[in-house]
Structure 1
Amino acid sequence: MKTILIILITLTGQLAWSQNFSGKVTDEQGQPLPGVTVQNLQTGAYSHTDFNGVYRISESQIGDSLKVSLMGFEKANLVLSENSNDIVLSQKTISLDGVEVRRSIDAQSIFADVNLQTNPVNSSQDLLRLVPGLFTGQHAGGGKAEQIFLRGFDIDHGTDLFISVDGLPVNMVSHAHGQGYSDLHFVIPETVEGVEFSKGSYKADQGNFATAGSVSFQTKDHLDQSNVKLEYGQFNHRRLVGMLNLTPQKSGKTDAYLATEYLYDDGPFESPQKLGRFNALAKVTTRPGQDDKLTFSSSYFDSDWNASGQIPQRAVNSGLITRFGAIDDTEGGATSRLNSTIAYDKALQNQWSWNSKAYYTYYDFELYSNFTFFAANPVAGDQIRQKEHRNLFGAETAFSKETKRVNYEIKAGLRSDLIRGNQLARTQNKTLTLENIYLGDINETNAFVNLDAEISAAQFTFIPGLRLDQFLFNYRDNLGSGSPMNSDQAFLASPKLSVVYQTEKNQQFFIKTGYGYHSNDSRAAVQNFGRKTLPRSFGADLGSILKVSDKLLINPTLWYLYLQQEFVYVGDEGIVEPSGRTRRMGADLSVRAELAQSLFFDTDFTYSNARSIDDPAGQNYIPLAPQFTWTAGLSLMDFKGFSAGLKTRMLGNRPANEDYNLVAEGYWITDANVNYAFGKIKLGVQVQNLFNTSWNETQFATESRLRNELNPVEEIHFTPGTPFNLRTTLTYSF
């Protein structure tokens, strides 16, 4: 009895003295800092600041010491008191000692964060390459979305990778050029502040296309100062970026800025690509109170270009054209995109949060290509046009709650794509329409609900999740007179479960599992092909994140991914290409090291084995699936005004067809940069392909016919990679 009484008194004392505390973390300019790690050094309790820089920490009492840390800022300690528990962090040179391995499924994103902090980003390709192991390639004059490679996937332009910017989806369903088409060129790279990525589909908020993974970019809410950047380089490259802070007062209540970008580039081609691009972004963020945040942004993007297209190896070998020549130099296109988003975040009572957003996109697309030259039409050629006009609407709302042992979130949302004039036509010289192959209207709607939870038990965190998706597909064939809308619908439930074991020394071990999917194109979904509209994927990751010391981060992972049915709508031909069941497995290794003050090393290695399950051995290779990739870099940050970087990337040989008798040859490319800042001015030099390597950026096994040939020939067609390319930059801040 006496023992029980002592225990009750002890527990009562703990409850009496243990309290919940809150405070705000800001930088020296008064700007709130989200994502700051706050840990009680006495009890081990931890928290992270929210959208307004506010933390809420339990299991604490007056006099406890809090450790406050965020990469890019000096660490700080705070002693809890009855009065204000706010704290100001001072910026410092980037250092890995400020990196905390979090007890969450998103912890791997710190590797992309380090990349963003230590490597210059000047293009959408640079943005995507922030993800460890992700490679890109351009094959249509710089204006078309990049081809993407990740985890044994030739993702084409986004079929198996979900991409978003500030919650706005980039992937286009039922696109005229191909399912999941993701053109990231509407993003001004200098406005990006953060990136989160996930490989596999292990989070319930990951929906369509998130089979190989997902990437989410966040743009800045605030500019520290205004600046103008001028970039000039070889091949008539010109780029001008302006970023204007419209609220220079340090109130922390309202922030607004305007960013614009103009780019022109002819490329190394004999027929200049004449790539022109204009971007504008306006963003306003206001915080009416400590618990509220309202964000509005609007952006506009417009681009047009010419292209030399993919050329056959035999034409180069015979001397008919050079590596930078063309069989049909009338390819090219034009596209534009207008985006508007509004988001509201609210911290409610009892540690509840409410987050809502709505978005709208108006999108135009027109692309001219010629892959087979004179195989179908020996006189006029095989040029095609793909075209569409799209209105995209979406909204979602989420409620989440943090408790001592359980965090959970429920989210519901709706996305609707209204596509008019979705066209595939045969054309000549971009001026004459020879034949309409497909012309129709598409209405596609996706409604979803997802539930996420994080359940802590000692050093384990269990992360179950469930996503429910309902799709409605409608397609009207406008080539048939009075054709009605053909419809189909599909429902899918995708369960997930991950387990994270976190030590006290910034070490995390995890196993992640989950079902995902990629949807079929509406044009195929409404036809009775006997194919699944929403084929499942199932994946598993086993790995760890080890902060071996204050200066070294390591992330090894073994993974597996199964696809119930792999197919995409091939917009170039207007058909669906199913390839049955597939499986992929492999290993990833990422390392980030701080070799000395301001000197960083990074490397990422991936191995993937990708095979078709239903085809016999030797004929079951998945075309263009990467097998080996490797990147490595050295970065010098802010050393006496200097910063510099040396980055190399290697993509190994890949099968170009199912039996591997055609090889897409690998490459090894090195880029470099050096910058010097003095006062308000920063000068920079960038070199692409430092050693002037002759390489092929993208390659395909294609059957084509040249004008003087009797029969079509199947062989490697490619777009040449950029040769040595020197650019200089001048940035003035004010």
Structure 2
Amino acid sequence: MSVPALRIYLAAAVMVMMALSLGAQTPARQVHLSGVVSDIAGDPVAGATVYVRAGFQETQTTSDSSGRYDLVVPTGTAKIEVAIGQQSFFRIALDIEDNRELNVTLRSGETVTVRADQDALTPDPATLGYSHTELLDANPGRPGVPVSVPGYPTETASGGIKAPQYFAPGVAGDHGEPVAQFFGIGNFLFQNNLTANAHGNGYADPNFIIGSTVGGVVIDNAGYNARYGDHSINLAVTYAIRNRIPTFVQMITDGRDGGFSAGWAPRDDRKKAWIAAEGLWGNGFLRRAEERQQYKVNALRAWDVGHHELTAYGIGYYGFSRLPGLIPIDTPVKDDTIDTRQADLTHTSIALIADDWQIAEKRSLMTGAYFRTYSLALRSNFGDGLIRQSEFRTVVGGSSTYSQSLSPNWLLLAGLELRREAPRGLDLARADEEGVFQPVTSNDLTITTTSPFAAVTGKPVRHVQVYLGLRRDQLAFDNRDLLSPANSFDRWPGVTSPKINVTFGEANAAVLPQVSFSFGKAFHANDPRIGTGSAQGDLLIQAREFQMVALKEVGRTELRLTLSKVTKSAQLAKIDADTGLQENVGPSTNQFLTLLARRRGSRGWWQVSWSQADARDRESGEPIPEAPRMIVDVVGGINRLPLGLDAKGEFEYVKAKPLGDGFNGIPVREIRLALNRSFVDGRWLLSLNGQLNNGYTGQTLETLAVGTETEAFERRVGVPLRSYGSVSLSYFFGR
């Protein structure tokens, strides 16, 4: 499908849906909607705002000291939302014909938006959700992911603003190749991964998100959800974007880095609109100054129009920094860099619009469309001299997802996704002895994906939950090789991915745990460039996944055991984005076990997780290089300390990883601490953040010589981690 046709289809779909629902509506009689709002501990929540929207009418009230609320509302389909301050915790649609009672339990770990068809949208039994209040900022005032996700460490291979990548047990993803990253705008998913990026396949950069706009994070093991497509093999991370934020200004510094951010929102909480901006500057903590500059603008506006909720979301980002780069782990290096010319320049823009049409209590349609631009100019030196990787691409796409209750126990989900990525000037160049870049590869690509999917979920018998999903991804690769036209080609491969989840029992049963068994097929697209090779490589890499999850709730404590096995097919003639060379990667198997315990209460929370993995090449039996074997994470928070303080802390340990060729890395330990104190009725917030770090990030093997060494040899390299502390001061208007 061409780009103009895609745009016409998406625009027409939105206009038709609006026209169908904006017709004349007959007057409705009035009934009572009432209930109690409580927290996860069962205690009443006073001061929670309950919004009810029915057609073009909106009513709201506030829960009293016993958590009780009572509203007079018109009959018909209504959308109910419960919020505390600027954060929405609960959302559902109901058909109200008579007086009705709805009791609401606010779970701090839920996503920002919770719907009645939640099980169909997030079917993986291993799914975990965290609100922003349960997470620590990953690197306050510095680049990287906006929040630290417990049990899933992130690394950057060169420092500076270079995009970090997530690691899962036994998974060494090439900047996101088997790890999907999404932004959740309500229930609409925008995928951040970029296939065939100049620096790494599946590259996903979260640097352009302003941390205060993230309401929560949802993670799962990716392969068991029919809504997920490319790169969704080992892990899916979804940043849930807030629909409300407070009006604020914030300043932060750690002595070598500083930042300023501000956000504005209407004083009327019923209006879902905000705009936020952030500037970050600094030199980092290594001797090679980063000279970093980052400028971000994020904005959201939502409208309730009849049974529609229209949401517009946009991002603008510019970032530049010098890069220290990889250096030997065992040998001191002058200025903590082997080449002072290393640098990264990135800018991106995103424009997105989504429509959540609640047709009736048991039927809804989510439609959205987006347009993105992205530019990268990256200079790196991995021991063979300075290289430059660059590109400019546009991404256009959209999706429609329809859900309908077939009966009280069964729900149908069906949809279609369209996406077109068009990287232009996808170049790799190497500097000669005079410092002039000479081209190694140069391509223009167009990758178009058409993906219908469907799923049904329900309870065939008591205490048994079933999810059956099927997805078809049909891709079209148009590879124009600008240096070797004979290597140009067009191909149209496709892959079909079934998804099955079967769950027995209830997590809160008296004795037995809830046990789930899952099977799924997943895939990721490969970089289609031939580079300096001579043959076309495998374009689609498939994986087969098996999983067992046991879940038990003991009082307020959740206990979870996850066993998983993922097998991936071989990758023939896979291009190395850093060299342009082709390499064959054997088939692999990753088996891992995760034990997790967490507890939430009115005074705070804690979580402990331990993961052990064994990832191997199935042909050689050798461990997969750079894949973490053991990850330990302990995180928690207390919100009622003396003197009005609240505190959060996290300990993360990654055991030494095999790096290949008989080399092992060194362990990585990170401790994050945060201490907060508010003043003047919450208008001022003082935050102290600290990190105690030990080890190297981005550990790998490179062949290089440093200092007075006359010959290059293979050695362990990485980027040193440094400990630091920062202080931030925030002011909130209107409190």
TM-score range, shorter chain: 0.7 to 0.9
Residue 567 of structure 2 corresponds to 562
Instruction: Note closer, same or farther for the CA distance 1:622–1:74 as it changes in structure 2 (3 Å cut).
Output: closer
Change (3 A) 1:524 1:517: farther
Does the aligned pair in 1 maintain the 2:165–2:204 contact within 8 Å?
A: no
Q: Structure 1, residues 22-81: CA drift from partner, whole Å, max 9, x if none?
A: 969998445579xxxxxxxxxxxxxxxxx98449xxxxxxxxxxx999xx9999xxxx99
SS of the residue 1:153 aligns to: coil
Report the Cα distance in structure 2 between the residues aligned to 1:153 and 1:630, rounded to whole angstroms: 15
Q: Identify which of 323, 335, 356 aligns with 2:346.
A: 335
**Corresponding residue for 1:367?**
378
Q: Give the structure 1 partner of residue 324 of structure 2.
A: 308
Change (3 A) 1:155 1:463: same
Counterpart position of 2:243: 221
Report if the CA contact (8 A) 1:474-1:526 is conserved: no
Q: Does the alignment pair 1:519 with 2:538?
A: no
**What is residue 621 of structure 1 aligned with on the other side?**
623
Report the AA paired with residue 241 of structure 1. S
| Cα distance in 2 for residues equivalent to 1:329 and 1:409 | 53
Shift of 1:533: 1.9
Q: Following TM superposition, by how much is the alpha carbon of 1:545 offset from its aligned partner in structure 2, in angstroms? A: 2.1
Is 1:172 matched up with 2:194?
yes
Whether the 8 Å CA contact 1:141–1:332 is kept in 2: the answer is: no
CA distance in 2, matches of 1:529, 1:106: 40
Partner of 1:578: 584
Match of 2:637 in 1: 635
Quick check: 1:129 aligned with 2:148? yes
**Contact 1:566 1:582 survives alignment (8 Å):** no
Q: 1:489 to 1:347 in 2, by over 3 A?
A: same
Of 217, 221, 243, which aligns to 1:195? Answer: 217
Residue 449 of structure 2 is matched in structure 1 by 446
Alignment partner of 1:722 is 2:725: no
Contact 1:393 1:417 in 2 (8 A): yes
Equivalent position amino acid for 2:375 in 1: D
2: CA distance between counterparts of 1:143 and 1:213? 23
Rate the CA distance shift 1:631–1:699 in 2: closer, same or farther, 3 A. Answer: same
Are the structure 2 counterparts of residues 517 and 229 from structure 1 closer, same or farther at C-alpha, using a change threshold of 3 Å?
A: same
Structure 1 residue aligned with 2:65 = none
1:238 alignment partner, one of 251, 258, 273: 258
Secondary structure in 1 matching 2:173: strand
Q: Distance in 2 between matches of 1:355 and 1:427?
A: 49
> Does structure 2 conserve the Cα–Cα contact (< 8 Å) formed by 1:398 and 1:410?
yes
Q: Is 1:326 equivalent to 2:337 in the alignment?
A: yes
Corresponding residue for 1:711?
A: 711
| 1:674-713 correspondence runs (5 A) | 674-678=675-679, 679=681, 680-689=683-692, 693-706=693-706, 708-713=708-713
Change over 3 Å in CA distance of 1:535–1:139 after alignment to 2? closer
SS in 1 for 2:525: coil
Alignment match, 2:156: 138
Task: Note if contact 2:347-2:376 (Cα within 8 Å) is conserved in structure 1.
Answer: yes
Give the aligned residue type for 2:213: T
* Maintained 8 Å contact 2:530/2:536: no
Structure-2 separation of matches of 1:683 and 1:110:
33
d(CA) in 1 for partners of 2:279, 2:569: 43
Provide structure 2 residue ranges, at least 5 long, that are not aligned to the other structure. 1-30, 38-46, 54-76
Q: What are the within-5 Å matches in structure 2 for residues 95-134 of structure 1?
A: 106=123, 111-113=128-130, 116-117=133-134, 119-120=136-137, 122=140, 125=144, 127=146, 129-130=148-149, 132-134=150-152
Look up the equivalent residue of 2:345 and give its one-letter code: A
State which of 285, 292, 298 in structure 2 corresponds to 1:275: 292
1:126 Cα offset (Å): 5.1
How much has 1:396 moved relative to structure 2? Answer: 0.9
**Structure 1 pair 425–504 and aligned structure 2 pair: CA distance change class (3 A):** closer
> 1:579: Cα distance to partner?
1.4
Aligned to 1:152: 170
Residue 193 of structure 1, CA deviation: 1.3
> Residues 198 and 428 of structure 2 are in contact (CA less than 8 Å); yes or no, is this contact kept in structure 1?
yes
Q: Is the CA contact (8 Å cut-off) linking 1:119 and 1:635 kept in structure 2?
A: no
State the number of aligned residues: 649
Partner-residue secondary structure (3-state), 1:155: coil
Quick one: distance in 1 between partners of 2:110 and 2:359? Answer: 35
Quote how far apart the aligned CAs of 1:420 are.
0.9
* 1:601 equivalent among 606, 612, 618: 606
Distance in 2 separating the partners of 1:569 and 1:23: 60
Summarize the Cα distance change of 1:443–1:22 in structure 2 as closer, same or farther, 3 Å threshold: farther
Change (3 A) 1:180 1:95: closer
The whole-number CA distance in structure 2 between the counterparts of 1:74 and 1:414 is: 31
Give CA-to-partner distance per residue, 1:641-666, whole Å, 9 cap, x none.
31112211100011110x4x211111
TM-score, L = length of structure 1: 0.81
Query: Does the 8 Å contact 1:244/1:258 carry over to 2?
Result: yes
- Corresponding residue SS for 2:529: helix
Structure 2 CA distance, aligned partners of 1:530 and 1:268?
43
Q: What amino acid is the match of 1:365?
A: L
Given residue 731 of structure 2, which amino acid in structure 1 is its aligned partner? Answer: Y
- 2:160 alignment partner, SS class: coil
- Contact kept in structure 1, 2:559 and 2:598, CA below 8 Å: yes
Q: Which residue number corresponds to residue 11 of structure 1?
A: none
| 1:334 maps to amino acid | L
Q: CA 1:694–1:134 in structure 2 vs 1: closer, same or farther (change >3 Å)? A: closer
Q: Measure, in 1, the Cα distance between the counterparts of 2:517 and 2:455.
A: 16
Q: 1:589 matched to which residue of 2?
A: 595
- Which residue pairs with 1:296 in the alignment? 312
Give the superposition deviation at 1:216.
1.5
The 3 A distance-change label for structure 1 pair 384 and 52 is: farther
Q: Which amino acid aligns with 1:621?
A: P
Q: Displacement of 1:599 after TM fit? A: 3.1
- Output the amino acid matched with 1:532: D
1:271 deviates by 2.0
Contact persistence 1:152–1:627 (CA under 8 A): yes
Q: Does 1:610 align with 2:615?
A: yes
Q: What amino acid does structure 2 have at the position aligned with 1:440?
A: N
Displacement of 1:437 in angstroms is 0.3
Q: Quick check: 1:465–1:497 contact (8 Å CA) kept in 2?
A: yes
Moved more, 644-653 or 566-575: 566-575
Q: Which amino acid aligns with 1:702?
A: E
* Counterpart residue identity of residue 567, structure 2: Y
- Cα distance in 2, alignment partners of residues 394 and 675 from structure 1: 41
Report the RMSD for the aligned CA atoms in angstroms.
Answer: 3.5
Task: Indicate whether 1:249 and 2:268 are aligned.
Answer: yes
CA distance in 2, matches of 1:100, 1:396: 19
Kept after mapping to 2: 8 A contact 1:488/1:526: no
Q: 1:468 aligns with which of 464, 472, 487?
A: 472
The answer for the alignment partner of 2:428 in structure 1 is 424
Amino acid at match of 2:328: P
What is the SS of the residue equivalent to 2:157?
Answer: coil
Identify if the C-alpha distance between structure 1 residues 355 and 562 changes in structure 2 by more than 3 Å, giving closer, same or farther.
same
Separation in structure 1 between the aligned mates of residue 386 and residue 532 of structure 2, nearest angstrom: 28
Change (3 A) 1:137 1:401: same
Q: Residue in 1 aligned with 2:390?
A: 387
**SS at the partner of 1:479?**
coil
1:432–1:264 distance in 2 versus 1, CA, 3 Å: same
Separation in 2, partners of 1:138, 1:683: 29
8 Å contact 1:118–1:637 — kept in the other structure?
no
Q: Distance in 2 between matches of 1:74 and 1:391?
A: 35
Check whether the contact 1:204–1:450 (CA below 8 A) recurs between aligned residues: yes
* Match 1:510 to one of 492, 498, 516: 516
After superposition, the C-alpha distances for 1:257-305 in whole angstroms (9 at most, x for unaligned) are: 111111112111212101111110121001112x210001111011000
TM-score by length of 2: 0.81
Q: 1:86 to 1:358 in 2, by over 3 A?
A: farther
Alpha-carbon distance change, 84 to 309 in structure 1, aligned in 2, over 3 angstroms: same
What is the distance in 1 between the residues matched to 2:110 and 2:522? 36
* Contact map agreement 1:149 1:156 (CA 8 A) in 2: no
Residue 409 (str. 1) matches residue 410 (str. 2): no
